[in-house]
Amino acid sequence: MTRSELISKLSKINPQLYQQDLEKVVVTIFDEIMSALARGDRVELRGFGTFSVKTREARLARNPRTGESVKVKPKATPAFRMGKELRERLNSK
């Protein structure tokens, strides 16, 4: 399912709302999650899952082709952990 398919599903459930507003709703939700993570906040959506930021320390890695060592800067990665309800729904069959 893509972003646009999600919007058309919402518009089927909510025929009274403007498609344009539903598009904004979807944009707002994912933008809010993204800016929360950019601030270093967690996003906890019970039943669905939790979004968080994990930090990776600086490390020395090797260029696999040349064997040279390269310094890798510290970085942050977004992470997602499934909620209990979703995990059960995916594994019920």
CA dist list (Å): 48 to 20, 41, 45, 85:
26, 17, 6, 7
Cβ at position 45, least distance to another protein in Å: 6
Looking at beta carbons only, is 59 or 75 nearer to another protein?
75
Q: Which helix (H) or strand (E) holds 7?
A: helix 3-13
Q: How far apart are CA 91 and CA 9, in angstroms?
A: 24
Q: Kindly state whether residue 11 participates in binding another protein, applying the rule CB under 8 A.
A: no
Q: Kindly state whether residue 62 participates in binding another protein, applying the rule CB under 8 A.
A: no
Residue ranges that bind another protein, judged by CB under 8 A: 1-3, 6, 9-10, 13-14, 17, 21-22, 24-26, 28-30, 32-49, 53, 73-80, 82, 85-86, 89-91
